[in-house]
Chain A
């Protein structure tokens, strides 16, 4: 697609529920990133995929968070047993890893998660 697409744009859930957030990167971009932005803060790194594998998941806050990218394109960020502190905007970005624009990230509009 023309840009990075994220769904849903807004998600309201109750504490303890399971949530999935989807990211559709730019076609052909092999690298995909998830960031989390809390109110009044800059985005913070969560996880980075190179193709289908998670090359760096050091930013995931705990084992309730998990992300997959089974076919090297669309990625899903999964949050189990949500807590109020998980409320944030979850941003996805993608980039090529070679050629023009290598490692230059293009961000989606984000998914705003609210945990009540």
Chain B
């Protein structure tokens, strides 16, 4: 079974800082990996999806990288804003019904 670890579990930064969230997974036979955002009491919002053949994806201030062979992905957030405060979840997918989640990184951006 895929095991997903996200480090750090919580992160607090002042507004404007760049930051990196880390994700590692044990089964490298994935065909994509998604990063999700979850606000308190809410569902999941997909931020970025990286196919297994890709190395990175960018959307605005977000950049996600994937190193499939080493089982790692990072989410880079540039120029953080208070509105970025949320929990970020990494989810590698190994099959149609095999999407596994980490426990997330809880980000707080301080104004």
Contacts and interface: CB of A to CB of B under 8 A. Distances in A.
13 contacts: A6-B43, A40-B103, A42-B89, A42-B101, A42-B104, A43-B44, A45-B98, A45-B99, A48-B96, A55-B97, A104-B32, A107-B43, A108-B43
A14 B48 CA distance: 39
Contacts of A80: none
Contacts of A105: 34, 46, 99
Contacts of A45: 97-100
Interface of B: 4, 31-32, 34, 36, 41-46, 49, 89, 91, 93, 96-104
Q: Which 10 A-B pairs have the closest CB atoms?
A: A42-B101, A48-B97, A109-B43, A107-B44, A110-B43, A56-B97, A103-B96, A107-B43, A42-B103, A43-B101
B93 to A, nearest CB: 7
Interface string A93-107: 001010000011111
B43 A91 contact: yes
Contact of A97 (B44, B91, B96, B98): B96
Contact of B93 (A40, A48, A103, A110): A103
Q: Give the secondary structure class of A's interface.
A: strand
Contacts of A97: 96
Nearest to A49: B97
A106 B46 CA distance: 7
A33 B97 contact: yes
A29 to B, nearest CB: 12
Interface in A36-65: 40-45, 48, 50, 55-56
Given A91-B43, A107-B43, A41 B103 contact: yes
In this complex, which of B34, B41, B103 has the most chain A Cβ atoms within 10 angstroms of its Cβ? B41
Contacts of B99: 33, 45, 105
A104 B49 contact: yes
A63 to B, nearest CB: 20
Contacts of B89: 42-43
Contacts of B43: 6, 91, 107-110
